[in-house]
Structure 1
C-alpha cells in the first residue's frame, strides 16, 4: 500500500515524485473519454511519462498517415473487458489485441514496451504492459508473458486479481487505475529498487519507468 501511494503521489517539485503516477489520468486535451478508439497526441505524449517517448516516424503513421487503419483495429477491441475475464490470451477473444500489437510493432522503432504501453493506454483493464522489469520478474526464457500473467491472475479463483484490487482500494487510488496497472507498478517499484527505498523511508528522487523499447 505504501509503495503504491508513493508512486501515485502527485509530483511535488521538479525533481521529486514519479511522472508515471500521472499516466493513468493524463488528459491535457480533455478528449480521452471521447477518443477510446483513436490514438491521439495525448496518448503518444503520455508514453513520455513512462520514459518511453513514441518516435517521430511512428507518431506520423499513427496520427497522420494511417489513423483510420489503427482506429479500425482498435475499435475491434472491447473497452470494458478485464484481462482476467478473458478465457485464453491465445483464443479468439484476445486475437484483436494481438492483431493491433503486431501492427504497432511494424512501426519504426516501436518495440514491445512502447507497443504494450500504447495498448494499455487505450485498454488499461485488458492489456498488460510488458517491459524489461516485468520480463525479468518472470521465469527465464518465457516467451508468452501475457499468458503467464493471465494464469497468475486467474489461478486460485482469481485470488491475485482480487488482491490487486484490494491494494488499490487501501491505497486510496481511483478506479482509473486498473488491476493490471497496480501489478505493473508494484513489479516495477520492486525491480527498480524503489519499493525497498519507500519501505525504508529513504528519499526518492524523480524516477520514471525503464526506457527499453
Structure 2
C-alpha cells in the first residue's frame, strides 16, 4: 500500500512528482481517451519518457504518423524482394497499421478478460512497434500507455520480481493465466490494495505527515488519492513490483 502512496508523493514544496512515472497514464489526459485511442501521439512519447526511457526521434516520427507511408512502402518492397534491409526490425514503423490494430482492442478490455484472439492482435501490434533501439521495455511502455488495462509494462525489474525467465516471449499470456487463477484472486487483491492506498493517501494529505513514505525528500501528494484511484490493475501491479524491486 505504501509503495503506491510513496510513488504518488510530491517533492518537498510540491514542486513536482517525486516519481515522474506518477504522470505516465494521465499525462495529457491519457493515451486511451477516445479522441486518441487509436493513434500514437506526441503526448504518448512524452509519457513514455516519464518511465525513464526515451524513444528514438526517428521512431517517434514514424509512430506519430509524420512519415505515414514509409512503413507500408518498405513492407511492400520486402515482399517484392527489393528491400535491402537486414531484418524486419529495420523496417519503418507503419502508423496506419498501428491504428488499425489498436482499433481492434477496446480501451476497457482487461488482460484477465482477453481472449486468445485479443492476444493475437497484441502480438501483431508488438511486432509492428518492436524495432532496433525500440526493444521490449520501450515497446511495452508504449503499449501500456495506449491500453493500460490490457498491456503490462515489461522491464527487467518487473520480470525479475515475477520470476519470468529472461528471453521468454509469453509474458502477456503468462500474466493472463495468473490473473485468471481464481485460487490466487489477484484482481481482487489489487483492487483492495488500490482502495487501501487511496485511504492512506487521503489520510497522509490531511495530516501532512511524511512518516510512512520511503524517501525523506517527499511529502504526501496533493492529488495522490485521485490518481491512485484511477489506476488500472496492471498499473497497480507494475508500480508495486517496481517499488519493491528498488528496495532490494
Please give the per-residue CA displacement for 1:148-183, whole angstroms capped at 9, x wherever unaligned.
222221112561111001111111145531000000
CA apart distance, 1:69: 2.6
Runs of 5+ unmatched residues, structure 1: 197-213
Aligned-residue CA RMSD (Å): 2.4
* Matching of residues 23-172 of structure 1 within 5 Å: 23-27=24-28, 32-63=33-64, 64-66=66-68, 67-87=95-115, 91-106=116-131, 108-137=132-161, 138-141=163-166, 143=168, 144-157=170-183, 159-172=185-198
Alpha-carbon distance between aligned partners in 1 of 2:112 and 2:31, rounded to the nearest angstrom: 29
Instruction: Choose 1 or 2 for highest CA Rg.
Output: 2
Structure 2 length as normaliser, TM-score? 0.69
Q: Is the 8 A contact 2:10 2:16 kept in 1?
A: no
Runs of 5+ unmatched residues, structure 2: 69-94, 199-224
